Amino acid sequence: MKKMIFPKPLKKGAKIAVISPAGAVEPSQLEKGIEMIKSRGFEPVLGKHLYTKFSNGYNYAGTEQERIKDINWALNDKEIGAIWASRGGYGCQHLVQHLKLKNFTENPKWYIGYSDNTVIQSYLLKKGFVSIHGQTIKTSSFGVTDESYNGIFDILKGKTPKYSLQPHKLNKKGNIEGEVIGGNLALVYALLGTSYSFDFKDKILFIEDIGENFYALDRMIMSLELAGVFKKIKGLIVGGMTNMGDEKDNKSYEESFDEFAYQLISERISKYKFPVVFGFPNGHIKDNRPLLIGGNAKVKIDTNVKIEF
């Protein structure tokens, strides 16, 4: 198995590129995040099209060409030490065929984001690089805990995450070790059958999602089933399932681990023996703790849950 490459820790004063690879953002939505980067001793460098808007059935942060230019600049500029996505939304699939890594391979850097950024992280993973599935610069309407950002900065400084979780009634006990893959379920699903899909063999799959009808969630899980994913993975971690179901059934954002969504997933995978963790604090939730996509994790699921990279 190919050894995954971890970017080097950032030194004080390192430059962090802030780009918008998908949905459009307003400057006011990024003010706190950009100031936070400065307060932690790093220098934010804003992509040329960070605040550009292009409407084409969706409000993108620029045309495809504009967003491609920004991400390739961030990936390959030798002065940039890390790349932090402003937000997710939709649009990263437009970029993935056009990504260039010529200078990146000589100077790997952390890519930070979640949601639609799962596409970029899958691409980097296939090229052998670890990335951070964590909170974007935009602070969501339901807020972000300090710990969510602290965990990201700890990784940037060279620490690896360790988590201790309360048990969940749907957990399946067991001890596993393996490479963590995945991210937003809708994008894991969207990449199936493409050359950019994850390699699921002997991996620990992480999934999270937001705003999906229950039948759409079931469709995605069924697609993973039909693609043989659950026969290949050695474990599953399920994060936030937020604002799921029909509109009349929507919960508040604080109720981020949707009970029925969890039950649906649990039933679909009941015939498999691999260990499962429900309720991991990552996703479209207030307490969005970072995971390393491509990082090797030791997972112990018993009366409590321990995950250590």
- Give the active site residues: 115, 208, 284
Its sign, for the CA torsion 51, 26, 84, 196, is negative
Which residue(s) pair with 209 in the sheet? 241
Residues composing the chain? 309
CA–CA dist 191, 128 (Å, integer): 18
To which residue do tokens 């207030």 refer? Answer: 286
Nearest to 268 by CA among 243, 300, 236: 236
DSSP string, 122-144: HHHHHTTB-EEE---SSPPTT--
CA–CA dist 307, 309 (Å, integer): 7
Phi, psi at residue 151, to the nearest 5°? -60, -35
Give the CA radius of gyration of the chain: 18
Phi, psi at residue 219, to the nearest 5°? -60, -45
CA–CA dist 37, 149 (Å, integer): 10
CA–CA dist 29, 104 (Å, integer): 29
Which residue(s) pair with 207 in the sheet? 183, 238
CA–CA dist 151, 104 (Å, integer): 24
- Count of C-beta atoms within a 10 Å radius of residue 287: 16
